[in-house]
Amino acid sequence: MKPTGTALRPGGLPSALGGIDVTDNWPISERHVHLQGGLLAINPPQSEKISLWPTTTDNKNLELKLATYASFYSKLKALKLEIIGVEFITHEGEAIGSSPPQWRPYAEQKKIWVNWDAFQLWGQLGNSAYSHKNGLFYDLSKRIAYQLSSLSERLKELSLAYRAQLNALWIKGNPELGGRFQDGFTELTYQKFQSFLFDAYSGEREHSFRLNVNTFFLNALPTEGCTSGVHVQSIS
């Protein structure tokens, strides 16, 4: 069976731009939601439509309709789709690939951008320490901010590795549901997984704070009475 539907453009991002109804009062931002297992949901700028990639096993395109801009994530969760993170494309440079889109890991809790918020907080603390000429706290804050950013990017790389493997199955066509397999992308995916764990462990050796890590929660907020330790709750 020859697959049809949305093809991958350079950088591995399916294109969903053009020819879509828009809602003018929504933010001008294309959202690419990374889903568990390499799946992808795309919401074009100021559009009420969601396109899911890849096509279904019977080669049909699946589209959803949003009631509000904020309902994107609840719409996906209602379909039992696990959200890993989101790429926001907000200007032409990000759309054509001349600059990277903003990537945020997603957290299944009240504050869904906990990694992003923590990264911003530690960066601000570092700037404050610099202005007060506190070299030790400046160094510590910047190291923690870097580790949060590094873990975030490792998670994105792991998600993209799953997507590349899923794309290979999609090209071959008619994958066996629930079947086990190994192909040329298996080792690459495993390497990205190990890189993610290595960065999590390396960061913990450098900083005396508790670091909780899973595909839905990447956070390192300062707390009193912290003990060191890496807790890998789930990797999917």
The pLDDT, as a whole number, for residue 9 is 41
Task: Decide: 68 and 124 in contact? Cβ < 8 Å.
Answer: no
The pLDDT, as a whole number, for residue 171 is 86
The pLDDT, as a whole number, for residue 201 is 72
83, 81, 86, 41: which is closest to 65 by C-alpha?
Answer: 41
Q: What is the strand order of the sheet 229-234 is part of?
A: 217-219, 210-214, 229-234
The pLDDT, as a whole number, for residue 60 is 84
The pLDDT, as a whole number, for residue 81 is 93
Task: Decide: 52 and 64 in contact? Cβ < 8 Å.
Answer: yes
How would you label 104-115 residue by residue, b for 16+ Cβ within 10 Å and e otherwise? bbbbeeeebebb
* Cis upstream peptide for 222 (omega within 30°): no
The pLDDT, as a whole number, for residue 152 is 92
Positions of the chain with pLDDT under 70: 1-22, 174, 202-236
